[in-house]
Amino acid sequence: MAHETVAYETILVETRDAVGLIRLNRPKALNALSRQLIADLNAGLDAFEADDAIGAIVLTGSEKAFAAGADIKEMQALGYVDVYLDDFVAHWERLAATRKPVIAAVAGFALGGGCELALMCDLVIAADNAKFGQPEITLGLMPGAGGTQRLARSVGKAKTMDMVLTGRMIEAEEAERIGLVSRVVPAAELVDQAVAAASKIAGLSRPSVLMAKEAVNRAFESPLADGIRTERRLFHSLFATEDAREGMAAFLDKRPAAFRNR
């Protein structure tokens, strides 16, 4: 497996064949989401989006913390006019806008903005030591980067109200049970399993992967009838691709498909 590492100030960026790996890297601050970290993350995402050799992305932190939340030291000095004029945390949405699939590989704490960052990803694979929470209420605040919206769409009203109004943390096992995470794996295997899942995705036909992601996301943004129409249009459009013809032929020939992303 080919590895190539690029250095930023607050993240580590690495390629493993067709997978881009981004590690949040502020260990002394438990990967608190400072302005610099988000800027670096967005730059790393932009680079992987532009790289045709990359088919999927893994976002992870350290064994102790995926991200423990927003940087409170930065936030403490801000007033209403500051955050309103700057549209504070809007720039975090770059992750959610990423077209290529992104897998969050979460170990340790994913709290506040860290939980919201994980929810922006397409799959969340959690280590068995992961802890999720939206504790903003204990600071006299509330979630501001999707915690009341994406969390509710993932786990429903009852669990969202529980987490948002009490600020309690939940363990990985409960997070999987309620639908916040896709699967739970041993902490020692977290990154390897996330990269393996990303490699599987990256090896598939890219047009079909991107369209499938778009269709699933539409389910959370539109009425059912509109979502079904979107799905059908995208499904129909794949019949114009070489990869669809190759995939069906390979199935009938009982051989592996050789996708060309066309």
Q: Which of 185, 202, 219 is the last residue of a domain?
A: 202
Residue 262 maps to a domain: no
Please give the tally of structural domains in the chain. 2
- Is the CB of residue 95 less than 8 Å from the CB of residue 120? yes
Do 82 and 212 lie in a common domain?
no
Do 98 and 228 lie in a common domain?
no
Residue 261 maps to a domain: no
Residue 157 maps to a domain: yes
Of 116, 126, 127, 176, which is the active-site residue? 116
- Is the CB of residue 48 less than 8 Å from the CB of residue 20? yes
Of 68, 110, 136, 194, which is the active-site residue? 136
Dig out the tokens for 233 from the structure.
């249009």
14 an active-site residue? no
Residue 136 maps to a domain: yes
Do 173 and 244 lie in a common domain?
no
Question: What is the residue-level pLDDT of the chain in tens, covering all 262 positions?
Answer: 555 666 799 999 999 999 999 999 999 999 999 999 999 999 999 999 999 999 999 999 999 999 999 999 998 988 899 999 988 899 999 999 999 999 999 999 999 999 999 999 999 999 999 999 999 999 999 999 999 999 999 999 999 999 999 999 999 999 999 999 999 999 999 999 999 999 999 999 999 999 999 999 999 888 888 888 888 888 888 889 999 999 989 999 999 999 999 9
Do 244 and 167 lie in a common domain?
no
Of 69, 113, 114, 133, which is the active-site residue? 113
Buried b (16+ CB within 10 A) or exposed e, 176-188: bebebbbebbebe
Of 70, 104, 105, 202, which is the active-site residue? 70
Do 41 and 111 lie in a common domain?
yes
Model's pTM, two decimal places?
Answer: 0.92
Residue 249 sits in which domain range? 206-253
116 an active-site residue? yes
What is the distance between the alpha carbons of residues 103 and 213, in angstroms, rounded to a whole number? 12
